[in-house]
Amino acid sequence: MAERDTTDPRIPVTVLTGFLGAGKTTLLNRLVSHPDMTGTALLINEFGAVGIDHHLVERIGETMVLLDSGCVCCTVRGDLVEALEQLHGKLARQQIPPVRRVVIETTGLADPVPVLWTLMEQRFVAARFRCDGVVTLVDTGLGAEQLDRHEEARRQVGMADRILLTKADLSDRSARERLDARLDVLNPSAPRLAVTHGEVEPRRILGAGLYAPGSLPEEVARWVAETEAAARDNIAPPSVHAEGAPSVSFTCFFGRQVPWRGFSVAMGEILAEYGSRLLRVKGLMNVAGLSGPVVLQCVERVAYPPVRLPRWPADGTRFDMRGRLVFIGRDLPEAAVDDIRRRLADLPGDTAALRAVAKAPLLPTRCWLATRMPTQSQSAFETGGWHINPLRLGAATRQAAEAS
Ligand SMILES: Nc1nc2c(ncn2[C@@H]2O[C@H](COP(=O)(O)OP(=O)(O)OP(=O)(O)O)[C@@H](O)[C@H]2O)c(=O)[nH]1
């Protein structure tokens, strides 16, 4: 990994960006366990009112800062500056161990231009931190279409010093070729690196160095020019989605445990119906029969294998064991949001769910349905790695129990 520049005392900052679900948190989780990452402060920013990611990233001491909900690029002069000021204050007072590097994970909808503006032009920040490169993750399978549809994705790629092509294991050669053709236009000079499950040596992506201005393609040069003009007037440049792209984020909470199969079928039907207008779904669910939460992730129509955590994360000082799913959509009418809420409030029982699966075997959540989970029973529980289901009901009793 590139060491700190001895001629420049400022702390290097790497901006880790990439469209919703591209694999940023997965990459960070791999990176933080690497010895080269010692002395790194992480700043994590999430879109949506309820943060999930910070529960999923391994903690690396006190140097992880969660930027308040809202998008980093829309609150450049608020949260990000404040977080860096706080970090600097703690370092100056020696309240935290020395920091050699900062990594900022932006939201998937972040426009990196105002973030870079803050790092380079905001007086306090620019005097103490220096931007050391933008690393952009792109989903190999979904990337080409996302670049066609979303201006934020284009800007993230356009500003990249390194491009990481993620999820190669899920895509075929033609997807990679389509994506390469788009990247050749948007950012021909940034090196590309294929990454699976976040597996990469830190030195290959940190200390990436900034673009030589002469190499900027036309569109990117325009954004940079806008940024510089805004800097001259001492204002933050507008972020692209602040200008009005209709993104909607909402959270569904679940007051009690959900039946796994009923929930998986309902979510499968929701993904099938709303598809690519649902850019991202993620959450922690309280599933009947389990003591720890299940982490769920979807990117557009793709549902990823569920991950079981051993225990619920503490929310502040208390444990909040309510299930919660954060949805981020685009061009999603209010009626669709109501419909999603209604379907999740009225989940089918296991038997009804299995009947629905028989009729629609290709539900996007079929990998959830194939996962071994407790069957629906309030009295089932887990202990020491064993799943205990004390009641064996006959078919008639089971149907009566489900109907109740
Ligand atoms: N099969 C496969 N899945 C991956 C890979 N990288 C990430 N994923 C999965 O993709 C889903 C989204 O990954 P995240 O790391 O949460 O993506 P993100 O960019 O942090 O998402 P946002 O913060 O919501 O923008 C998760 O379920 C990951 O397990 C990969 O290389 N292969």
pLDDT tens readout for residues 101-110: 888 888 888 8
C-beta of 136 in contact with ligand 1 (< 6 A): no
Please name the residues in contact with 195: beta carbons below 8 A apart, sequence gap of 6 or more: 23, 27, 137, 164, 165, 166, 168
C-beta of 108 in contact with ligand 1 (< 6 A): yes
Looking at residue 230, its pLDDT comes to: 59
Looking at residue 258, its pLDDT comes to: 92
What's the rounded Cα separation, in Å, for the pair 119 and 117? 5
Looking at residue 314, its pLDDT comes to: 64
Burial of 34 (0-12, 13-18, 19+ CB in 10 A): middle
**Which of 107, 159, 137, 168 has the alpha carbon at shortest distance from 18?**
137
Q: Which of the pair, 212 or 206, is modelled with greater confidence?
A: 206
Range ranked top by mean pLDDT from 45-59, 87-101, 364-378: 87-101
Average pLDDT (46-53) is 50
Pocket test for ligand 1, best of 25, 55, 109 (most atoms within 8 A of CB): 25
- The answer to whether the CB of 117 falls within 8 A of the CB of 227 is yes
Measured CA to CA in angstroms, residue 235 lies from 122, 219, 228, 232, 333 at distances of: 9, 21, 10, 8, 33
C-beta of 170 in contact with ligand 1 (< 6 A): yes
What's the rounded Cα separation, in Å, for the pair 3 and 36? 10
What distance in angstroms lies between residue 395's CA and the mean position of ligand 1's atoms?
40
C-beta of 25 in contact with ligand 1 (< 6 A): yes
> What fold characterizes domain 11-232?
Rossmann fold (3.40.50)
C-beta of 169 in contact with ligand 1 (< 6 A): yes
Task: State which CATH number among 3.40.120.10, 3.30.1220.10, 2.40.50.100, 3.60.20.10 fits the domain covering 247-382.
Answer: 3.30.1220.10
Domain ranges of the chain: 11-232, 247-382
- The answer to whether the CB of 57 falls within 8 A of the CB of 226 is no
Q: Which of ligand 1's atoms lies nearest the C-alpha of 108?
A: 25
One DSSP character per residue, 71-100 reads -TTTSIIIIIHHHHHHHHHHHHTT-S---S
Burial of 13 (0-12, 13-18, 19+ CB in 10 A): buried
188: tokens are: 């021909």
Residue 192 pLDDT exceeds 80: yes
Average pLDDT (93-112) is 85
- The protein residue with its alpha carbon nearest to ligand 1, atom 13, reads 23
Q: Quick one: pLDDT band at residue 269, thresholds 50, 70, 90?
A: very high
Domains 11-232 and 247-382 share a fold: no
Q: Which residue has tokens 């007051």?
A: 255
Q: Which of the pair, 305 or 400, is modelled with greater confidence?
A: 305
The half-sphere exposure of 347 on its side-chain side, counting CA atoms within 13 A, is 23
pLDDT tens readout for residues 328-353: 888 889 999 999 999 999 999 878 88
Amino acid letter, residue 84: L
**Averaged pLDDT score across all residues of the chain:** 78
What's the rounded Cα separation, in Å, for the pair 67 and 64? 10
Range ranked top by mean pLDDT from 220-224, 341-345, 385-389: 341-345
Please name the residues in contact with 14: beta carbons below 8 A apart, sequence gap of 6 or more: 101, 102, 103, 104, 132, 133, 134, 135, 205, 206, 207, 208
C-beta of 26 in contact with ligand 1 (< 6 A): yes
